[in-house]
A and B are shown apart, each in its own frame.
Chain A
Amino acid sequence: MHLTQKLELFPDHSVTQILFKDVKNAAELRQSAVEGKINGALINPTMLVGPFQVLVAANKAVHLQKTGKMKTRSLYSEIIFNLSPNNNISEAFKRFGISDGDDSVMVVLVHNQDESQLLSDVTNKVNGRQVPVEDVSSLSDAAKIKKLYKVTPQEEVCGTLLDAVVCRMATKDVM
């Protein structure tokens, strides 16, 4: 049910996404993430259009870590920051990280070859129901996403919402 993609640019790194619904312990999860007890990024799935968006953010985070250009303190906070269309770090956490009342969460892990141990660690911590990662599209709040990324109706004529979002994420540092 989870989705693992190898990063072509960093062949010894893979990204795994795990989606949970009916999550009961969001506040507790957020707290452990803040304390650095969870080896993963916890993302609010309503702000995600699809799994590819997460891959773009994760790839960029690994690249910036390798080149020593990260804007935040850790790889996982950098993934959350990369999802945001602007350069405000606290706003990025507020919008793309999970909040105490959330009932769904996307967990993103960056790892070497074998992920089974990490995977079970995370599934043990989340009190919720794991669902296929592809279901993330059914949770997305398109209106909120369009507003935050400032996607115009005419832009959607020449491409999908995912295209528009990915383009902004990839180019935000030079806008």
Chain B
Amino acid sequence: MAQKSCTPELLSGAELMKQGAEARLYRTRFLGKPTVVKQRFPKRYRHPVLDEKLTHRRTTQEVRSILRCRKAGISAPVVYFVDYASHCIFLEDIVSSSTVRDYIASCPDQDQDLDLLVQKVGRILARMHDEDVIHGDLTTSNMLLRLHPDGTKPRHEPDLVLIDFGLSYISALPEDKGVDLYVLEKAFLSTHPNTEALFQTLLHSYTAASNKSNAVIKKLDEVRLRGRKRSMVG
């Protein structure tokens, strides 16, 4: 009696935006609104039972973290619909936006706007970590900057939206928050050469905005020495 989900049929006619190792992103219209569909496809290299379990858990984890962030006042795409049968999440398409990565790349060095932007990033991450949400994949490509619908200049106060909570989880441990920042530092400095000062500005604003930043920054220093993975010796 139970039939298969209809989502794959819709996606076959939709525009493929991006394909990663974990999921495919499609752009389509849903209930009349511009929508991004994130489909976690089956991984043939995993045992089917394990694959189903992991995929299901990541799908639910992603929508949980999005809602938790939104409740705390951190912008993240609205979830319109979740299809647990085909593991698809229907998300608000943030129209007229640029990734922070593209925005920084297009800005001349020493731009004042950049300082304002990374300060905002620091404040948002501080708030997210204070809610015990660990993003898990912080990069400047996973932050969107809403632009004026007409032009390319961002609004006065940078309007940031965090996306891709696919690897996120809930944890209060300074260790996990430290690793989260470490991942961002690695990604930031490798995508944007010669921006050590800019990243320091980001960390300063994180420290000032977070209630529990002392322990996190201490852990970050530790993580820098040993890398992301903990030593399992002894």
- On A, residues with C-beta under 8 Å from B are 5, 7-10, 52, 55-56, 59-60, 63, 66-69, 152, 154-155, 157-159, 163-164, 166-168, 170-171, 173-175
Contact = CB atoms under 8 A, between A and B. Distances in A.
B75 A56 contact: no
B215 interface: no
B6 A66 contact: yes
21 contacts: A7-B31, A9-B30, A52-B31, A55-B32, A56-B81, A67-B2, A67-B3, A68-B3, A69-B2, A154-B73, A155-B73, A158-B74, A159-B75, A166-B79, A167-B70, A170-B63, A170-B81, A170-B82, A170-B90, A173-B82, A175-B64
Contacts of A168: 67
B85 A67 contact: yes
B3 to A, nearest CB: 5
Interface in B1-55: 1-7, 10, 28-33
B70 A164 contact: yes
Interface of B: 1-7, 10, 28-33, 60, 63-64, 66-67, 70-76, 78-85, 90, 92
Contacts of B32: 5, 52, 55
Given A5-B31, A154-B72, A174-B64, A166 B78 contact: yes
B106 to A, nearest CB: 25
Nearest to B11: A9
A158 B73 contact: yes
Contacts of B7: 9
A60 B70 contact: no
A9 B83 CA distance: 11
A145 B67 CA distance: 17
The CB with the most chain B CB atoms within 10 A, among A10, A67, A157, is that of A67
Nearest 8 Cβ contacts at the A-B interface: A68-B2, A154-B73, A158-B75, A174-B60, A55-B31, A170-B79, A163-B78, A171-B63
Contacts of A159: 70, 75, 78
Given A158-B74, A175-B64, A56 B80 contact: yes
Contacts of B90: 170
A164 B60 CA distance: 18
A171 B31 contact: no
A68 B2 CA distance: 5
A63 B6 contact: yes
A167 B64 CA distance: 10
Contacts of B5: 63, 66-67
Given A8-B29, A158-B70, A167-B70, A59 B81 contact: yes
Nearest to B2: A68
Contacts of A154: 71-73
Given A69-B2, A171-B79, 7 more contacts: A9-B30, A63-B5, A63-B83, A67-B85, A152-B73, A163-B78, A174-B64
A171 B65 CA distance: 11
B142 to A, nearest CB: 17
B29 A170 contact: no
Contacts of B4: 67
A167 B89 CA distance: 12
